[in-house]
Structure 1
Amino acid sequence: MIINRKGAGMNIRGGRQDWRRMAALLAGAALLVPGIAMADRPIPETSDDVRRVPIPPVDRSREPIVAIVGGTLLDGRGGAAIRDAVVVTQGDRILAAGPAARTPLPANVARRIDATGLYILPGLIDLHIHFTQQRGPDMGKYADSPAAAAIRGTALADQLVTAGITAARDVGTMDDVALRIKEAVDRGIIRGPRVLWSGRIISSTGGHGDEVTSTATGREKPGMGGATRGYNGPWEWRAAVRQQIRGLADWIKLGAPADKEELAAAIDEAHSLGVPVAIDSYGVYTDWAIEAGVDTLEHPLAMSEQAVPLMKKHRTAFVPTIGAFDNLLAGGYPTAGIPTGGFYHTHSRRFVIDQQDHLKKVTEAFRAGVPIGVGTDIPFENEVRYPDAYFRELDYLHQAGLSNADVLASATRVGAQIMRMGDKLGTIEPGKIADILVVGADPLASLKNLRDVRYVIADGQLVMDGAAR
């Protein structure tokens, strides 16, 4: 049993640790080792991801100081806009943020950004990306490979961060491509958002993630899909989770269909190791996953009438990716040979896609108090669909009944909380990571103003310089 500062043991229900309490303690940078009684001692520095690995203390005192002055600050905390604001960063952290009258500038500012007439807000978050997805009108001519996927992902990373999307969660990748993109961004080799990744989708044999036919096209994969990577039975699902975490995954991604026991085993295993779980699901599998404690539900596919009440009860977050399915209904993906209308020829997608039903489910979930995040999930034509797909997704959420302020919160503070990074991302305040977007006009007046990007600071680095442009 783990002992907290007050000496109380963590709740145990049915042999399962209380994940949500453990996650809160992890977010506070406490060193917790399941099964070992020890003092709860804060760790000064951890990795800036969900894994929260202890790292040596970081000396930022010699890093350059950047000051953004004169703009209107929307700090993401839900309060009123701050006119004539100052935001001060040093290295990858925010030092100060507030009204100029109460936020003095340090004497040794290395770069001063004049944001007069502009709006300052937290960097945006995309909770459902696949960096290895296809792009290009002639993609059918070329064989795919992890190397090719890495090149595509590098291009997408640049598209995202220069549009103000400074954090992204990859929920299904080829091999370890998303991990290597994460590392390349961290090391300053490429421009991109902060990446959290979940490795390969864990599924049953023949389930979503282990199908012989392509989910999008229905085309049979070479060699009948190769040797299966599906998992069968609760212990195989537990082993699959352990393998992903061993491979440095920040999140676990599950796919349906699956047995109730398989889903529960995978979710329990991940939570016992302090790693959250997302699922691509539908129908009764969705209900089973929610009841088992899954952290995020991806997509509003064939949801039952009890799904939203269950999400409210179990505090499940919702990443609806509405645009991904409207694309299928409103034109398909011509360059990939995917016709308009829905999913075809695919065993795990035997249901009708209804855009109005999707919007109604988002409305119902939002009114019930379910946290709503922004995710895109674009499988093809990334070179022309990003970053537009992200801003279109914001419009869909607005259509579902979220106000501009609600949508902006979903894209920043709420998104960070869903990502399990709420203590480090999502708002502009001292101590947070310096992920900052500066736009030309008020996004609360019109979400379209988020497209007018002037400056982007990601992890303390100025990656989009409006003055230079």
Structure 2
Amino acid sequence: MQDHIARRRGGGHWKHAALGVGLLASLAALSPVVQAAERPIPETTDDVRRVPIPPIDRSHEPIVVIAGGTLIDGRGGAPISNAVVVTQGDRILAAGPAGSVAVPANAARTIDASGLYVMPGLIDLHIHFTQQRCHDFGKYSDSPAGAAIRGVALAEQLINAGITAARDVGTVDDVALRIKEGVDRGIIRGPRVLWSGRIIATTGGHGDEVTSTATGRQKPALGGPSKGANGPWEWRTAVREQIRNLADWIKLGAPADKEELAAAIDEAHSLGVPVAIDSFGKYTDWAIEAGVDTLEHPLAMSNNAVPLMKKHGTAFVPTIIAFDNLLNGGYPTAGIPSGGFYHTHSRRFVIDQRDHLKRVTEAYRAGVPIGVGTDIPFENDERYPDAYFHELDYLSQAGMSNADILASATRVGAQIMRMGDKLGTIEKGKIADILIVGANPLDSLKNLRDVRYVVADGKVVVDGPAR
């Protein structure tokens, strides 16, 4: 972890990092306690927090076999025809050509995937479970309970589309945490959830404005007591509070001071939690230099941003589809006209989709990791899951190949999510999150819509004919 933190910090602001690592190495040589702390933990929670848990005996869990399909395992090799995948409980036991994989005689179920394509489950890196839906929502007051009900409905939409993991990057209260727990406990159907809690913002910044984005309507009591954080130590405190509340990720908003951004990112990394930022202009450059893990949206990016991302290992989640919705139709049910951001003090710039696509192309050519995210703030009952597949189309328009887009939606997405050792590919030891579709997605990304089966956490949650 210390090595990871040192790499992420890089640059002149963190000259003490190498000294700190050297000191830890010296202490490790002297102290068996420190040495023990560096040993891998055998079993942890299946999220970014990696909390140690007692060993799990999966030997009595049911075995599921997927046989006869063409396997696109997500590791970058050629598809494997007539493949077999064996799962037990929530883990993959084996995957490969039929002749090389032993099929247990005591399988609880065998799925005949002949003529179908087997691949890792899809990942959406930017959602908000608590966003609004339905044409008549303006008639009703909102509450965390109402947001939770909407979130459960969205979780169902996602899993039905083969999206088996999702990162919520801004929620009302602890709604996303409770949806995460509901999925984990089998109470509701949905994807694996990682969550960020509320956006950390300066007073009046993005995440703490008193007017609703693009409508100009003031929030009740001007938003109530300010939740903004001001100054580096308040930003550090806000990060600690989010991690105390069990957040998997930290989400920052701009504008903010350079020192505030650096303090929050440093604090999160020191506690082993990654950071995303919704930013623009110089604030984006400052965050990248400070070691932010993911940049959400290509808003008003400077010409320095992509080179900085490449230098510092920052990942990119463009969410182009979110701005397509805003520009081409707006959100009528929310009273938001088309054309851009309106009535928002923290978004005083023009949206340019051509520039957005240009930045994605630039990042792709530079080798910046690119993930798939949607970020639909309103009417998600109508816009999911189509929004996800439209985002893939936008990545194609930016020049990415089908193979690289599929990687972004699976393996690369898992790596960006900090779950690459557990998700994103179909191989021994990984979590059994599997999508089976009716035709080859490498030939056409539209074939991802032809969902036949979805296995999530080892359980068949979508079962049967095309949807």
TM-score range normalised by the length of the shorter chain? over 0.9
Distance in 1 between residues matched to 2:432 and 2:296, nearest whole Å: 28
2:389 aligned with 1:385, yes or no? no
Code of the aligned partner of 2:375: D
Say if 1:2 and 1:37, in contact at 8 Å, map to a contact too: no
SS at match of 1:101: helix
Partner of 2:173: 175
Code of the aligned partner of 1:347: H
TM-score by length of 1: 0.93
SS at match of 2:157: helix
Measured after TM superposition, the shift of residue 214 of structure 1 is 1.2
Say if 2:451 and 2:466, in contact at 8 Å, map to a contact too: no
Say if 2:68 and 2:84, in contact at 8 Å, map to a contact too: yes
Partner of 2:24: none
Code of the aligned partner of 1:378: I
Distance in 2 between residues matched to 1:415 and 1:106, nearest whole Å: 32
1:387-406 equivalent positions in 2, closer than 5 A? 387-406=385-404
2:193 aligned with 1:195, yes or no? yes
Measured after TM superposition, the shift of residue 158 of structure 1 is 0.5
Unpaired runs of 5+ residues, structure 1, are 5-9, 21-35
Code of the aligned partner of 1:37: V
Partner of 2:61: 63
2:35 aligned with 1:38, yes or no? yes
Measured after TM superposition, the shift of residue 335 of structure 1 is 1.1
C-alpha change, 1:237 and 1:456, in structure 2 (3 Å) is same
C-alpha change, 1:14 and 1:3, in structure 2 (3 Å) is closer
State percent identity of aligned pairs. Answer: 81
Aligned-residue RMSD, C-alpha: 1.9
Distance in 1 between residues matched to 2:117 and 2:18, nearest whole Å: 43
1:135-284 equivalent positions in 2, closer than 5 A? 135-284=133-282
Measured after TM superposition, the shift of residue 218 of structure 1 is 2.3
Which has the larger displacement, 395-404 or 216-225? 216-225
Measured after TM superposition, the shift of residue 234 of structure 1 is 0.2
SS at match of 2:393: helix
Distance in 2 between residues matched to 1:369 and 1:296, nearest whole Å: 14
Say if 2:452 and 2:466, in contact at 8 Å, map to a contact too: no
Measured after TM superposition, the shift of residue 216 of structure 1 is 3.3
Measured after TM superposition, the shift of residue 2 of structure 1 is 6.5
**Cα deviations across residues 248-300 of structure 1 (Å, max 9, x unaligned)?**
00000000000000000000000000000000000000000000000000000
Measured after TM superposition, the shift of residue 137 of structure 1 is 0.4
SS at match of 1:96: strand
Specify which of 352, 366, 369 is matched with residue 367 of structure 2.
369
Measured after TM superposition, the shift of residue 13 of structure 1 is 3.6
**Cα deviations across residues 342-386 of structure 1 (Å, max 9, x unaligned)?**
000111010000011100000000000000000000000011100
C-alpha change, 1:342 and 1:77, in structure 2 (3 Å) is same
C-alpha change, 1:75 and 1:3, in structure 2 (3 Å) is closer
SS at match of 2:80: coil
Say if 1:217 and 1:344, in contact at 8 Å, map to a contact too: yes
Say if 1:124 and 1:167, in contact at 8 Å, map to a contact too: yes
C-alpha change, 1:112 and 1:276, in structure 2 (3 Å) is same
C-alpha change, 1:304 and 1:88, in structure 2 (3 Å) is same
Distance in 2 between residues matched to 1:44 and 1:60, nearest whole Å: 14
Distance in 2 between residues matched to 1:304 and 1:315, nearest whole Å: 17
**Cα deviations across residues 174-226 of structure 1 (Å, max 9, x unaligned)?**
00000000000000000000000000000000000000111232211111111
SS at match of 1:284: helix
Specify which of 300, 315, 318 is matched with residue 317 of structure 1.
315
Say if 1:167 and 1:195, in contact at 8 Å, map to a contact too: yes
1:11-50 equivalent positions in 2, closer than 5 A? 13-16=14-17, 37-39=34-36, 40-50=38-48
Say if 2:450 and 2:466, in contact at 8 Å, map to a contact too: no
Distance in 2 between residues matched to 1:16 and 1:51, nearest whole Å: 23
Say if 1:19 and 1:271, in contact at 8 Å, map to a contact too: no
Measured after TM superposition, the shift of residue 15 of structure 1 is 4.1
Measured after TM superposition, the shift of residue 14 of structure 1 is 3.6
Partner of 2:412: 414
Partner of 1:107: 105
SS at match of 1:347: coil
Measured after TM superposition, the shift of residue 52 of structure 1 is 0.1
Partner of 1:464: 462
Code of the aligned partner of 1:412: T
C-alpha change, 1:18 and 1:440, in structure 2 (3 Å) is farther
2:414 aligned with 1:423, yes or no? no
SS at match of 1:376: coil
Q: May I ask how many residue pairs the two structures share in their alignment?
A: 449
Distance in 2 between residues matched to 1:68 and 1:345, nearest whole Å: 52
Distance in 2 between residues matched to 1:319 and 1:278, nearest whole Å: 10
**Cα deviations across residues 140-188 of structure 1 (Å, max 9, x unaligned)?**
1111101000000000000001110000000000000000000000000
C-alpha change, 1:225 and 1:347, in structure 2 (3 Å) is same
Unpaired runs of 5+ residues, structure 2, are 22-32
Code of the aligned partner of 2:438: G
C-alpha change, 1:17 and 1:168, in structure 2 (3 Å) is farther
Say if 1:2 and 1:38, in contact at 8 Å, map to a contact too: no
**Cα deviations across residues 372-410 of structure 1 (Å, max 9, x unaligned)?**
000000000011100000000000000000000010000
SS at match of 2:419: coil
Q: Which structure shows the higher helix fraction?
A: 2
Code of the aligned partner of 1:55: I
C-alpha change, 1:149 and 1:368, in structure 2 (3 Å) is same
Distance in 1 between residues matched to 2:80 and 2:372, nearest whole Å: 25
SS at match of 1:437: strand
SS at match of 1:289: helix
SS at match of 1:160: helix
Measured after TM superposition, the shift of residue 95 of structure 1 is 0.4
Distance in 1 between residues matched to 2:96 and 2:3, nearest whole Å: 38
Say if 1:3 and 1:38, in contact at 8 Å, map to a contact too: no
Say if 1:373 and 1:411, in contact at 8 Å, map to a contact too: yes
Code of the aligned partner of 1:163: A
